[in-house]
Every structure is written in C-alpha cells, then in structure tokens.
Amino acid sequence: MDFIHQLLNIVLPPSALLLLCFLLPPYFAFKCLRYVKRSICNENVAGKVVLITGASSGIGEYLAYEYGRRGACLALVARREDRLNEVAIKASELGSPDVIVIRADVSKVEDSKRFIDETVNHFGRLDHLVNNAGITKISMFEDANSISDFHSIMNVNFWGSLNATHLAVPHLRKSKGKIVVISSIAGWFPTPRLSFYNASKAAVTSLFDTLRTEFGSDIGITIVTPGLIESEMTEPELISEARMYFILVESTETCAKAIVSAACRGERYVTEPSWTGVLFVVKLLCPEVVEYFSRLLLINRPMCLKKNA
C-alpha cells in the first residue's frame, strides 16, 4: 500500500504538470468559445420569477433593479418591510411586471418555508433563487468577549442560504432554474478581523460547489465572490481610511449588473471587481506574501478595517 503512495508522490506531480502544459491552451480556447456562445444565447429572464433575499439594501437592492430592468417578476425578502416596499416600487418602475414583498428572517427555517411557499403560490413557479442576505462583525478573534456573539454570522450567511435552497430545490428542478449565491473573496482571502465572516463564506462556497456537482445540469449555480462593494456593510464609518475605500470600492450598480449578466450566461463563478481574482492566484502561489501584507496593512497599520466597528 505505502509503496503505491510513494510511487505516486514521485510520478504524479511532474506528470500532472506536463499534462497541464498540453491541456491548458486548448482548455482556455474552449472556455473563450463557450463564453462567446453564452454571451450570444444568454437566458432571457423576462416574465420569469426571481426571489432575492436581503433585497432591502446594497447588492440585493440593485439586483432587484437589474432583474426588474430585464422584465423579471420579483419576490423581495428581508426584515425591513418599509425599505423593501421602496425597492419594490422602483423595480416596478424599471420594468418588473409583478413584485411582491415578504418580511422574513432567512436564519429561521419557518420564515424560509413561508417566503418560498408565498412566492410559488403567488407566481406559480420559481426560476432564480438569489441567496444574498448576509451580515458581518469586525473583531480580532482574541477580542471577542463571547464566541456565541458571532453565531448569528453563520446563522444568516450559511444556514440562511442553506434553508432557502433546500426548500427551493423542488421548484427549481421543475423550472430548470438557477441559484445565485453571494459568497465573498473573504472566503479564500485571509482578511484579519473577519475570521468568523471569512469562515461563513468559505462554508457557503464549499456547499454550493458541492451542490453543483450533485445537481449536474438540472439546476445552474453561480457563486459570486465580491471584493469591496459599496453598501451598508462597507459604509465609510466601518472603514478607517476613507481614501482607501474610495480607491478600492466598486459601485453597487456595476456589481449587480455583472452578477445578473453572469447568471444569465450560466457562469459558475463571478468575481467583482474582476481584477480581485488575481489575488486568488497570488494566494495560491505565494500564501506567505499574502499573509505578510495582510498583517502589515490590516493589523499593524489598520488601513481598511476599524477595530470592533
């Protein structure tokens, strides 16, 4: 047994690298052609039914406007009904033929069941489920008074997405629909002061990557990993150097447009702004460098994240 592992340890890495050198150029050519084909024959969501969680502000709000502009019927879910009603009016003005508002907390299974049922009872179908609702808390791990204060992050970000997905799957199978899930680059980039949030987003990415393999082509899954996007979550009060904020932040509208376009093209992943995808490669190839600069910029000289904001 051990002999086989020793042999594979020696033979497999160089042969895999050699194989990749031959396979990568045709693979990337295939991906380019597929991108062009999907851009031309992308999904038309006019008249389709889209449910968006966390639609009362930020990315969720602008996703409602972008889907509305494309003529989709909308079910908007969040806890602040007054804000949802304002978003619903604007989405209708932009072109959505029918918008309903459902006040709910995604971390509660009974609420998730209610908003999925209300959506399907009202529209008769569900085509896109957008798991967007999310929260964060900024704190160094050792500064946390009680770990239970951070349970809510997992309850909303991870269990909230999972509850809604589990209940929506039978309807999405019928419509051959799609799931869009808003994860974060924080799921793979070790941003200090966000350990609980980072872990919740890593769990979300892993869950939906696995579900994609289980669902095959029956239900499409687009995992979104935004960088720094303008929203209530990233208000300048939370960011100590507003100068850095304005350089790095992307507008909510640009982000939402990119997400809906990618979902309609059937993309597996979207990173917004797309240049932040380079950080993934840097982290993969030189993790020590990423760790050094993260400590330098965000712990020793906290440039972006305020402590205990």
Q: What residues are labeled active site? A: 197
Q: What's the DSSP call for residue 46?
A: T
Least distance to ligand NAD, CB of residue 230, Å:
7
Whose Cβ is closer to ligand NAD: residue 134's or residue 220's? Answer: 134
Reduced to 3 states (helix: H, G, I; strand: E, B; else coil), residue 98 is coil
Least distance to ligand NAD, CB of residue 80, Å:
6
Whose Cβ is closer to ligand NAD: residue 96's or residue 131's? Answer: 131
Considering only CA atoms, which of 59, 69, 234 is closest in space to residue 131? 59
Two tokens at 293? 């600069």
Least distance to ligand NAD, CB of residue 163, Å:
10
Tally helices (H) and strands (E) across the chain: 11, 7
Least distance to ligand NAD, CB of residue 60, Å:
5
Inter-axis angle of helices 160-175 and 109-123, to 10 degrees?
A: 30
Q: What's the DSSP call for residue 235?
A: -
Q: What's the DSSP call for residue 158?
A: I
Least distance to ligand NAD, CB of residue 184, Å:
4
Whose Cβ is closer to ligand NAD: residue 126's or residue 256's? Answer: 256
> How many Å apart are CA 272 and CA 249, to the nearest integer?
10
Whose Cβ is closer to ligand NAD: residue 38's or residue 199's? Answer: 199
Least distance to ligand NAD, CB of residue 34, Å:
26
> How many Å apart are CA 197 and CA 158, to the nearest integer?
10
Backbone angles phi, psi at 89, to 5 degrees: -65, -45
Whose Cβ is closer to ligand NAD: residue 96's or residue 200's? Answer: 200
User: Which residues lie below 8 Å from residue 51, measured CB to CB, with a gap of 6+?
Assistant: 74, 75, 77, 115, 116, 119, 126, 128, 129, 130, 164, 168
Two tokens at 277? 């995808």
The residues that touch ligand NAD, with contacts defined as CB under 6 A, are 53-54, 56-60, 78-80, 105-107, 132-135, 156, 182, 184, 226, 228-229, 231-234
Reduced to 3 states (helix: H, G, I; strand: E, B; else coil), residue 196 is helix
Whose Cβ is closer to ligand NAD: residue 220's or residue 226's? Answer: 226
User: What is the side-by-side strand order in the sheet with 269-272?
Assistant: 99-103, 73-78, 49-53, 128-131, 178-182, 220-226, 269-272
Q: Are 289 and 186 in contact (CB under 8 A)?
A: no
